[in-house]
Copies of this chain bind each other. A is one copy, B any other.
């Protein structure tokens, strides 16, 4: 046994016939960041499991997922772009949140081969807030966006017990549809369709991709931000979006986009029973 094998074994990175297998379903797949971090979590938790990339085109996803049910040492997968929507219909069971958000970003294979799906984007966002000492319960929240990320954030904030939610979105119909889906699960929550003016809210969240590219318009009326507001991003890159830069100059508390992913990895590991 060479020195590097000994070291790898000491690190727990030795893959054997007993190792449980996890995947990350994506197309393309080369850029995905989760594998080394999930493998590190498995190692830290003393689990003999490894996650590897599964590169599959959208047309081939159903056949591959069917076959993965048959792999007895396959325990589940992270699901990412462009497969999150399609995966909703490929699971035997999905969470209420995944159903209403219309996306699955993680699947677990049960012993009988059935697949259970969930979406953890929103819970990662809330866990990131909590780790920064920000408790959503009781807060009045202004959320821009009504797409996948904004929907996931809205459901998780509702679950976390916010007092009220204002939705601002370019398409008012889409925001109304999100309000309707929220009402199915959280009928007591006050949700209004509002403007881009965040006045009167405690927590202001950008749930769109605006800020990712140079020249993007601001996602909301940043001139109406006031000191004491918490301003949060789902955009991870750049870390300091134009919105956050303006919010910082206003004396707002800033919450960056990256903690949503960081905290989601632990939640994913929990869901996968690592």
Contact of A72 among B13, B51, B55, B73 (CB under 8 A): B55
Say what secondary structure dominates the interface of chain A: mixed
Chain A: interface size category = 35 or more
Complex CA distance for A2 and B11, rounded to whole angstroms: 11
Question: Which of the residues B7, B35, B44 comes within 8 Å of A11, measured between beta carbons?
Answer: B7
Return chain B residues, CB-CB under 8 Å to A72. 27, 29, 55-57
Chain B hits for A2, CB < 8 A: 40, 44
Residue-wise interface mask of A (11-39) relative to B, using a CB-CB cutoff of 8 A (1 in contact, 0 not): 11111111101001011011111011001
Known: A64-B70, A64-B71. A16 touches B40 (CB 8 A): no
Question: A35 with B15: in contact, given A2-B40, A4-B40, A8-B8 (CB under 8 Å)?
Answer: yes
- Determine the distance from Cα of A19 to Cα of B24 in the docked complex, in whole angstroms: 12
* Residues of B close to A11: CB separation below 8 A: 4, 7-8, 11, 13
Closest 5 CB pairs of A and B: A67-B67, A17-B32, A60-B70, A55-B73, A55-B72
